[in-house]
């Protein structure tokens, strides 16, 4: 029997017992999976730790688990910390990108506003989407076996995105770059790479100039023009292959 995984806040894990109060997770556990006391499960806290456990008791509002003290452990994240900056896309495309990037092992995601964002949501409206993005990231981590849920940052202005993560190696995907492939840009080793991908309309020439002035290296991903969500997935996958754990 497949052992099911459930997200549980770190603060709900106390010595040999853990409590689950999240209505959605409880509904999935009891009504969809129809698990019962005595069934084994795996719990993860979203911060890197995972526990083998057994259901002790169930009510409509809470599930209690007995933890196997010998089973708590931390699964290492990829050796390269990948930060994906993405120009805000239409809802379905950005949600798909977040889901797949988390599955591939992205470390953090930062959506940003830029000149050619289509559509151009009000900043307040975009921030209201943050809760949904975080939920998608949590579900993707749960499905793919990650114990750490990558942070999804609130949307920022382009200038703020350029100033973020100053300690990381910086690259940006630029379709007008003709000479520099990704491998060349990664010649200098770094523990983290911050990759910027433009929105559906791409970066403007002025934005590309500002990115270079902020220390970002323009790179190309082959001869074809890619959709923004495709480029986002490919850059995470290539970084994972070149420096991460997809070549294991």
Q: Domains in the chain: how many in total? A: 2
Torsion of CA 136, 142, 146, 148, to 10 degrees: 60
Give, in degrees to the nearest 5, the angle at Cα 34 between 28 and 37. 110
Q: What CATH number is associated with residue 195?
A: 3.40.1280.10
Give pLDDT tens digits along the chain (248 positions): 688 999 998 889 888 899 999 998 899 999 899 999 999 999 999 988 889 999 999 988 999 999 987 666 667 789 999 999 999 998 899 999 999 999 999 999 999 998 877 655 565 566 678 999 999 999 999 999 899 999 999 999 999 999 999 999 999 999 888 888 898 888 878 899 999 999 988 999 999 999 999 999 999 998 888 999 999 999 999 999 999 998 76
Cα-based distances in Å from 35 to 50, 61, 63, 146, 158: 19, 15, 11, 22, 47
Whether 106 and 132 share a structural domain: yes
Domain range for 123 is: 81-243
Give, in degrees to the nearest 5, the angle at Cα 72 between 151 and 7. 40
Whether 111 and 192 share a structural domain: yes
Q: What CATH number is associated with residue 44?
A: 2.40.240.20
The pair of structure tokens assigned to 244 is 């991460």
Whether 144 and 177 share a structural domain: yes
Whether 46 and 89 share a structural domain: no
Whether 114 and 13 share a structural domain: no
Bridge partners (DSSP) of residue 65 are 18, 55
Whether 161 and 211 share a structural domain: yes
Is 229 a domain residue? yes
Is 209 a domain residue? yes
Q: Are residues 115 and 86 in contact, defined by beta-carbon separation less than 8 angstroms?
A: no
Whether 210 and 89 share a structural domain: yes
């Amino acid at each position: 029997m497949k052992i099911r995984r459930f997200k549980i806040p770190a603060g709900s894990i106390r010595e040999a017992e853990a409590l689950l109060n999240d209505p959605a997770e409880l509904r999935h556990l009891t009504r969809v999976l129809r698990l019962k006391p005595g069934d084994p499960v795996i719990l993860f806290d979203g911060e890197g730790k995972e526990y083998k456990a057994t259901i002790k008791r169930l009510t409509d509002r809470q599930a209690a688990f007995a933890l196997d003290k010998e089973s708590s452990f931390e699964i290492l994240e990829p050796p390269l910390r990948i930060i994906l900056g993405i120009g805000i896309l239409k809802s379905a495309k950005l949600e798909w990108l977040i889901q797949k990037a988390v599955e591939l092992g992205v470390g953090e995601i930062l959506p940003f506003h830029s000149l050619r964002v289509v559509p151009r949501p009000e900043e307040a409206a975009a921030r209201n989407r943050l809760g949904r993005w975080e939920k998608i990231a949590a579900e993707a981590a749960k499905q793919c076996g990650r114990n750490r849920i990558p942070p999804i940052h609130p949307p920022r202005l382009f200038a703020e995105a350029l100033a973020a993560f100053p300690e990381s190696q910086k690259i940006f995907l630029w379709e007008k770059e003709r000479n520099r492939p990704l491998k060349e840009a990664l010649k200098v080793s770094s523990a983290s790479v911050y990759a910027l991908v433009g929105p559906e309309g791409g970066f403007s020439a002025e934005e590309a100039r500002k990115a270079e002035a902020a220390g970002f290296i323009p790179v190309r991903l082959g001869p074809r023009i890619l959709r923004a969500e495709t480029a986002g997935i490919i850059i995470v996958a290539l970084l994972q292959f070149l420096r991460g754990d997809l070549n294991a």
